[in-house]
Amino acid sequence: MSRVLPDFSPRQMIKRAMIDPDGELLQGKEIWECLTCGRCSSRCPVEIDVPEFIRSCRLKALKAGNLPMESHQGIFQTIAGLQTGDLKQQRTSWAEGAGKFSNSGDFFYFVGCLPYFDPVFSYLGLSPVESARGVLGLLNKIGIEPVISNDERCCGHDALWSGNEATFRRLAELNLEVIRSSGARTVVFSCPEGYSTFKVQYPKYVGELPFEVLHVTELLGRELAGKDIAFKPSSNGVITYHDPCRLGRGAGIYDQPRQLLGLIPETSLVEMPRNRENSLCCGTSAWMECSNCSKSVRLDRLSEAERTGAGTLVTACPKCQIHFTCARLNSDLKIEVKDLYTYLLENIKGD
């Protein structure tokens, strides 16, 4: 963020908080403008966890009446709040015809908010549930018919990073109840934010989880290459891969997505100069503070991708795909933005 806001300084924010923990920092906009991308932490010589510092400040700021600027008229904050109550949802219709799934079993596919993203972002020419269809198809290819539940709720990532701890806690309780009732021993995530929330935040609030937490790239990376699955030679020319913040710096998952792309013959994967732990953020988080600064960050990243000679940028995060697509449609940039799982599935022979 300091690239587009010269006065933005995590170091100065930490100093101010040390001098006056409940002071003027909690009344400002800086703590909401922070992308919590973790890039400053990855470079910090004393290993300060800046995103966690920001998150703790946001909890206090919200209680003090300092609110973030919500994106998309606050629709996703409203949806998350509604999901803390007693409601009936239709979250599985996207899977009909996409693959086989169950109501109980060893594997639970936590779909996240993709079914809610779909109608909101149709104006971008995107269908985010195509990513979920890709994941389901790939899981079926390795012999897994996962549980998909209408009773699943938002993971609570956005509520927690917006300072709304009460909503986060309630969503966590409801999700654990649903997963336990399914009998699942492993929960698989395609959304980096859902994965990091369960992996890192849930144990802090509810204790040790009674199931294994896996990102789907970990599972596919382990299983897909050993199956009798043939991929078509790539016809996409040069591609590049964008590391999502929560999946890369947040969870250390860098190799698996690249290994999966490498399964496609004749793939020409060219890295952007800023990759892996130095990857640039997509410009916003938790559906808030989406501004001209966010757009500048996105256009910077898309331009960097285009300069590699790539015609396609692949990412493993639905929000990154949404944000980059939005920025690209309002620019002269031509690079296509694709979801990793859709890309993999469409390159399997016979599909």
Band of residue 4 on the pLDDT scale cut at 50, 70, 90: low
Are 9 and 41 in contact by the 8 Å Cβ rule? The answer is no
Query: C-alpha angle 259/260/265, rounded to 5°?
Result: 95
* Residues 110-141: tens digit of each pLDDT: 999 999 999 999 999 999 999 999 999 999 99
Residue 164 to residue 193: CA distance in whole angstroms = 16
Question: How many percent of the chain have pLDDT more than 70?
Answer: 98
210 vs 20: which has the higher pLDDT: 210
What rounded mean pLDDT belongs to the chain?
A: 94
* Residues 257-302: tens digit of each pLDDT: 999 999 999 999 999 999 999 999 999 999 999 988 899 999 999 9
Per-residue model confidence (pLDDT) at position 3 = 60
Band of residue 1 on the pLDDT scale cut at 50, 70, 90: low
Number of H helices, E strands in the chain: 16, 7
User: How much is the average pLDDT of 318-322?
Assistant: 97
Residue 250 to residue 21: CA distance in whole angstroms = 26
* Residues 178-227: tens digit of each pLDDT: 999 999 999 999 999 999 999 999 999 999 999 999 999 999 999 988 88
Cα–Cα distances (Å) from 222 to 116, 156, 180, 198, 242, in that order, read 30, 28, 25, 21, 21
Give CATH for domain 229-346.
Answer: 3.40.50
Are 147 and 103 in contact by the 8 Å Cβ rule? The answer is yes
Per-residue model confidence (pLDDT) at position 5 = 65
Query: C-alpha angle 218/134/209, rounded to 5°?
Result: 40
Residue 171 to residue 169: CA distance in whole angstroms = 6
CATH 3.40.50 segments of the chain: 229-346
Q: What is the DSSP letter of 148?
A: -
Per-residue model confidence (pLDDT) at position 196 = 97
Cα–Cα distances (Å) from 84 to 154, 174, 252, in that order, read 9, 8, 31
Residue 293 to residue 304: CA distance in whole angstroms = 17
Residue 312 to residue 303: CA distance in whole angstroms = 12
Band of residue 101 on the pLDDT scale cut at 50, 70, 90: very high
Please name the residues in contact with 129: beta carbons below 8 A apart, sequence gap of 6 or more. 94, 114, 115, 117, 118
Per-residue model confidence (pLDDT) at position 226 = 81
Band of residue 51 on the pLDDT scale cut at 50, 70, 90: very high
Residue 70 pLDDT exceeds 70: yes
Per-residue model confidence (pLDDT) at position 6 = 61
158 vs 6: which has the higher pLDDT: 158
Q: What is the DSSP letter of 281?
A: P
238 pairs with which residues across the strands?
268
